[in-house]
Protein backbone atom coordinates (compact mmCIF):
# COMPACT_ATOMS: atom_id res chain seq x y z
CA UNK A 1 0.00 0.00 0.00
CA UNK A 2 1.30 3.42 -0.92
CA UNK A 3 1.96 5.58 2.11
CA UNK A 4 -0.29 8.66 2.28
CA UNK A 5 1.30 12.09 2.22
CA UNK A 6 2.10 13.31 5.73
CA UNK A 7 0.06 16.47 5.13
CA UNK A 8 -3.00 14.37 4.32
CA UNK A 9 -2.60 12.33 7.50
CA UNK A 10 -2.16 15.55 9.47
CA UNK A 11 -5.40 16.92 8.02
CA UNK A 12 -7.33 13.73 8.74
CA UNK A 13 -6.00 13.40 12.28
CA UNK A 14 -6.73 17.09 12.94
CA UNK A 15 -10.29 16.62 11.69
CA UNK A 16 -10.73 13.58 13.94
CA UNK A 17 -9.23 15.31 16.97
CA UNK A 18 -12.57 16.86 17.85
CA UNK A 19 -15.10 14.63 19.70
CA UNK A 20 -18.06 16.13 17.84
CA UNK A 21 -16.49 15.35 14.47
CA UNK A 22 -15.61 11.82 15.60
CA UNK A 23 -19.23 11.33 16.66
CA UNK A 24 -20.40 12.56 13.25
CA UNK A 25 -18.05 10.11 11.51
CA UNK A 26 -19.32 7.31 13.78
CA UNK A 27 -22.91 8.20 12.89
CA UNK A 28 -22.15 8.30 9.16
CA UNK A 29 -20.57 4.85 9.40
CA UNK A 30 -24.16 3.62 9.81
CA UNK A 31 -25.28 5.34 6.61
CA UNK A 32 -25.90 8.73 5.08
CA UNK A 33 -27.67 11.45 7.04
CA UNK A 34 -28.83 15.01 6.56
CA UNK A 35 -27.31 17.94 8.40
CA UNK A 36 -30.39 18.14 10.63
CA UNK A 37 -30.10 14.45 11.50
CA UNK A 38 -26.42 14.87 12.29
CA UNK A 39 -27.07 17.95 14.42
CA UNK A 40 -29.87 16.37 16.46
CA UNK A 41 -27.83 14.83 19.32
CA UNK A 42 -25.59 17.88 19.84
CA UNK A 43 -26.34 20.93 21.98
CA UNK A 44 -24.73 23.25 19.41
CA UNK A 45 -26.09 25.43 16.63
CA UNK A 46 -26.59 24.39 13.02
CA UNK A 47 -23.84 26.82 11.88
CA UNK A 48 -21.45 25.09 14.30
CA UNK A 49 -22.41 21.68 12.87
CA UNK A 50 -21.89 23.08 9.37
CA UNK A 51 -18.38 24.21 10.34
CA UNK A 52 -17.62 20.71 11.65
CA UNK A 53 -18.91 19.23 8.39
CA UNK A 54 -16.71 21.58 6.36
CA UNK A 55 -13.66 20.41 8.30
CA UNK A 56 -14.58 16.76 7.69
CA UNK A 57 -15.25 17.47 4.03
CA UNK A 58 -11.92 19.30 3.62
CA UNK A 59 -10.16 16.29 5.14
CA UNK A 60 -11.91 14.04 2.61
CA UNK A 61 -13.75 12.13 5.32
CA UNK A 62 -17.25 12.98 4.12
CA UNK A 63 -18.98 14.04 0.95
CA UNK A 64 -22.17 16.01 0.58
CA UNK A 65 -24.58 15.89 -2.30
CA UNK A 66 -27.75 17.72 -3.15
CA UNK A 67 -31.03 15.88 -3.38
CA UNK A 68 -33.68 18.56 -3.84
CA UNK A 69 -33.56 20.60 -0.65
CA UNK A 70 -31.76 17.85 1.24
CA UNK A 71 -27.99 17.73 1.43
CA UNK A 72 -27.21 14.21 2.57
CA UNK A 73 -23.74 13.54 3.96
CA UNK A 74 -21.97 10.26 3.56
CA UNK A 75 -18.75 8.83 4.88
CA UNK A 76 -15.79 8.49 2.54
CA UNK A 77 -13.74 5.55 3.82
CA UNK A 78 -10.51 6.20 1.89
CA UNK A 79 -8.87 8.47 4.51
CA UNK A 80 -9.78 6.00 7.26
CA UNK A 81 -8.27 3.19 5.22
CA UNK A 82 -5.08 5.26 4.89
CA UNK A 83 -4.98 5.72 8.68
CA UNK A 84 -5.38 1.98 9.18
CA UNK A 85 -2.53 1.34 6.73
CA UNK A 86 -0.33 3.88 8.50
CA UNK A 87 -1.15 2.36 11.92
CA UNK A 88 -0.44 -1.18 10.69
CA UNK A 89 2.88 -0.11 9.17
CA UNK A 90 3.86 1.70 12.37
CA UNK A 91 2.81 -1.27 14.52
CA UNK A 92 4.84 -3.67 12.38
CA UNK A 93 7.90 -1.43 12.59
CA UNK A 94 7.67 -1.23 16.39
CA UNK A 95 7.08 -4.97 16.75
CA UNK A 96 10.21 -5.61 14.68
CA UNK A 97 12.20 -3.20 16.86
CA UNK A 98 10.96 -4.88 20.02
CA UNK A 99 11.76 -8.33 18.59
CA UNK A 100 15.32 -7.17 17.84
CA UNK A 101 15.65 -5.71 21.35
CA UNK A 102 14.40 -8.97 22.87
CA UNK A 103 16.87 -10.99 20.79
CA UNK A 104 19.69 -8.64 21.83
CA UNK A 105 18.74 -8.92 25.51
CA UNK A 106 18.60 -12.72 25.29
CA UNK A 107 21.98 -12.84 23.58
CA UNK A 108 23.47 -10.46 26.14
CA UNK A 109 21.99 -12.43 29.04
CA UNK A 110 23.21 -15.75 27.60
CA UNK A 111 26.72 -14.38 27.08
CA UNK A 112 27.09 -12.91 30.59
CA UNK A 113 27.93 -15.10 33.57
CA UNK A 114 25.05 -16.00 35.84
CA UNK A 115 25.47 -13.92 39.03
CA UNK A 116 23.69 -16.54 41.15
CA UNK A 117 26.23 -19.29 40.44
CA UNK A 118 29.28 -19.36 42.67
CA UNK A 119 32.71 -18.92 41.21
CA UNK A 120 34.47 -22.33 41.56
CA UNK A 121 37.81 -20.71 42.47
- Domain segments of the chain as ranges: 1-109
Q: What is the pLDDT of residue 118?
A: 61
Residue 68 has pLDDT above 90, yes or no: no
Q: Is 38 exposed, middle or buried (0-12, 13-18, 19+ CB in 10 A)?
A: buried
Residue 117 has pLDDT above 70, yes or no: no
Residue 120 has pLDDT above 70, yes or no: no
Residue length, the chain?
A: 121
Q: What is the pLDDT of residue 2?
A: 59
pLDDT in tens, 6-35: 788 999 999 999 999 999 999 999 999 999
Q: How far apart are CA 121 and CA 111, in angstroms?
A: 20
Separation of CA 57 from chain center:
16
Q: What is the pLDDT of residue 110?
A: 86
Which CATH architecture does the domain made up of 1-109 adopt? Orthogonal Bundle (1.10)
Amino acid sequence: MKSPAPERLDTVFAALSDPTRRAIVRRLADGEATVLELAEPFPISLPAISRHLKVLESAGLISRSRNGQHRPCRLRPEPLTEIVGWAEHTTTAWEQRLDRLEAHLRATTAASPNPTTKDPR
